Amino acid sequence: TDGEERYSYYRERSVTNVDKEKNKDKRKGVRVIWSRDSKKLAMIRTDERKVKDLWVINSVAQPRPTLETYRYQMPGEEESPIPEILIFELESKKIIKVETEQFKDQTVYILTAPRLAKNRDDENRPSLWLSETPDKLYFSRTSRDLHRIDICVADAATGKTKVLIEERLNTYVETRSLGLINNGKELIHWSERDGWAHFYLFDGDGNLKKQITSGPWHCERILGIDEKNRVLYFRANGREKSEDPYYYHLYKVNLDGTGLRLLNKGNFNHYASMCDSHRFFVDNYSCVDTVPESVLRDNQGNLLFKLETADLSMLMQAGFKFPETFKVKADDGITDIYGVMYKPFDFDETKLYPIIAYVYPGPQTESVPKSFSARSSNITLAQFGFIVICVGNRGGHPARSKWYHNYGYGNLRDYGLADKKAAIEQLAIRHPFINIDKVGIFGHSGGGFMSTAAMLVYPDFFKVAVSSAGNHENNVYNRWWSEKHHGVKEIVDKEGNITFEYDIEKNSEIAKNLKGRLLITTGDIDNNVHPANTLRLANALIRANKRFDFFIFPGQRHGFGDMSDYFFWIRADYFCKHLIGDYSQSVDMIELNREKEMVGNKKRK
């Protein structure tokens, strides 16, 4: 191909400059999307030659520290990657450039076919064009401010493009996989255009024929299309009365909008896996406080037989107790928000416990579990003598109304904090065992950002925070997350020139408000949320003459890798010291040493 450095089909990440030079002549992997007959393929080539560099240094690399240079566009910056879609005809070796140009600094995405269930365990599962025939390629293009998305089809022989569906909103637009009927003679499109996520039926030229689903509930994704019987199978939530609105179910509906039917009843979070013929599906379901079960049903929802029920007997013998779910009001006193509470296994309701909130602001997820798991660190943290909760907030999750999801648009630092505070206050009134004077908070990434913001916006309420890998200054985080969820303003001057303006509130701007105990951490080679986010906050705290704690993980990226267990104990120790007053920790982390594999006289790797 004609790829060249920084204008190529391959986007290189997490590679040091030393390794980059060493491997510069080696072949690089690319994402190839094949036509169904394997005679054509499509790829996205991205021009990053003007995008600015960013760097991390691995100080523990051997024999010398290594530098890693990578392209990284920050919010509001002019220098953007420029993508293009190219189609390759293998026999003729002809290259066709698809006419994608529409919006300045746009992104493009090639739409692919759903993967077949029968191929689930195949070693090689190539990505395929959505179209069954090689004459057309479906793709989407999105404006930089994400207020506009076009669903398009390109003539694979000429590259000429036709816009089929336009989505326009005053906040960011999102889409899901496009469904084809009769190879594109009809289209099933997911949209939030009426304020809720629903499916719409279009003809092959993009003319709206019918809104298939409607109402104050959320459709998540297509699970199958029975073209012969004109039935859509899909995952959705929020429709069933008296249930947690986040619980997923499988539904079927006729393409004319009639015959809507729930196929897996039960007040649980359901994940359905459907066979390719759409005759049967496996239904895996549980809640955080129930035993997981798996059953087989037919496409009418009839139970055929039970497959398996998880055996938790040994877990219960070890003293495990289920967490508890709860519902409270958001700070507006109207909106319901949902959460999970973890107690010590030796909980005594006559005692008073500090409360700690695990937080993630969203807007792509609230990180409040809905299915059973025994592996949550919240369970473990509670055993030190805490009530640990996670609870949603307005603006935190896409699986409710568009209004709920976009509540924080334009206020990315503060939008979820009032709801977290209101939830804790309501729980303290409801449960006398909660000590409202000892409130802790922690989170990672966006949660690191949020937990520090909580300490600075409500310094008299939140007393202790552990904030890891936080994007404390979203002006130096990546463009895509920050501009999408906070917003970027497109400016068009009299000559038609387009520029973008971005401004956001930062944790460092209110560092002077800190009153409680704060521990901030980062990995020194985090090439997602760059260490500059944490270092700039530290600088602001120092300039404000604040005492705080700062921990850096050498040679670790965003998730802290093999130091994650070490970090758990650092975090737990911090809360024990400052919420319970327990300073009994020894230098050795005895618990981690106990977990080391016994290898006898062999050398440990």
The string of pLDDT tens digits covering residues 151-197 is 999 999 999 999 999 999 999 999 999 999 999 999 999 999 999 99
Contacts with 563 (C-beta within 8 Å, 6 or more apart), sequence order = 553, 556
In sequence order, the β-bridge partners of residue 231 are 226, 254
CB neighbours of 86 closer than 8 A, spacing ≥ 6?
42, 43, 44, 45, 95, 96, 97, 98
How far is it, in rounded angstroms, from Cα 559 to Cα 557? 6
Nearest alpha-carbon partner for 392 in 369, 372, 375, 412: 369
Q: How many CB atoms lie within 10 A of CB 409?
A: 17
Tally Cβ neighbours within 10 Å of residue 286: 19
- Position 116 pLDDT exceeds 80: yes
Are the beta carbons of 378 and 359 closer than 8 angstroms?
Answer: no
Half-sphere exposure of 320 (CA within 13 A, CB side): 21
Under the banding of pLDDT at 50, 70 and 90, the label for residue 248 is very high
What are the chain's domains? 1-175 (2.140.10.30), 188-287+289-320 (2.120.10.30), 323-591 (3.40.50.1820)
Give residue 45's region: left, alpha or beta (phi > 0; psi -120 to 50). beta
Q: Helices 446-457 and 417-430: crossing angle, nearest 10°?
A: 70
pLDDT of 284 over the 60 cut: yes
- CA pair distance 248, 265, nearest whole angstrom: 10
Round to whole Å and give the CA distance between 278 and 255: 15
How many other CB atoms sit within 10 Å of the CB of residue 294? 16
Cα–Cα nearest to 47, from 79, 77, 78, 15: 79
Closest CA to 475 of 491, 490, 488: 488
Question: Strands 148-155 and 179-181: what pairing?
Answer: unpaired
Average pLDDT over the chain, rounded to whole? 95
- Is the distance from CB of 465 to CB of 441 less than 8 angstroms? yes
Q: What is the DSSP letter of 439?
A: E
Residues 459-498 have pLDDT tens digits of 999 999 999 999 999 999 999 889 999 999 999 999 999 9
Q: Give the confidence band of 19 by pLDDT, cuts at 50, 70, 90.
A: confident
pLDDT at 18 over 90: no
Q: Is the pLDDT of residue 605 over 80?
A: no
CB-based burial label for 602 (10 Å; 0-12, 13-18, 19+) = exposed
Q: Say which amino acid occupies 175.
A: T
In contact, 323 and 289? CB cutoff 8 Å: yes
For 277-281, what is the mean pLDDT?
97
Residue range 289-311: mean pLDDT, rounded = 98
User: Are 483 and 144 contacting, i.e. CB atoms less than 8 angstroms apart?
Assistant: yes
The enclosing H or E element of 455 equals helix 446-457
Q: Which amino acid is at 246?
A: Y
Rounded alpha-carbon distances, angstroms, from residue 59 to 54, 62, 345, 552, 556: 16, 9, 42, 12, 10
pLDDT at 598 over 70: no
Using omega within 30 degrees of 0 as the cis cutoff, is the peptide bond preceding 65 cis? no
- Residue 244, pLDDT > 60, answer yes
State the average pLDDT over residues 212-241.
Answer: 98
Summarised one tens digit per residue, pLDDT across range 562-591 is 999 999 999 999 999 999 999 998 999 988
For residues 506 and 452, what is the distance between their CA atoms, to the nearest angstrom?
Answer: 11
Q: Is the pLDDT of residue 600 over 70?
A: no
According to DSSP, residue 507 is labeled: G
pLDDT of residue 604: 55
Tell whether the model's pLDDT for residue 603 goes beyond 80: no
CB 380 within 8 A of CB 595: no
Helix H, strand E, coil C: the string for 573-594 is HHHHHHHHCCCCCCCCCHHHHH
The pLDDT value given to residue 601: 67
| 234-243, 360-369, 521-530: least confident range | 360-369
Give the least confident one: 3-7, 496-500, 556-560.
3-7
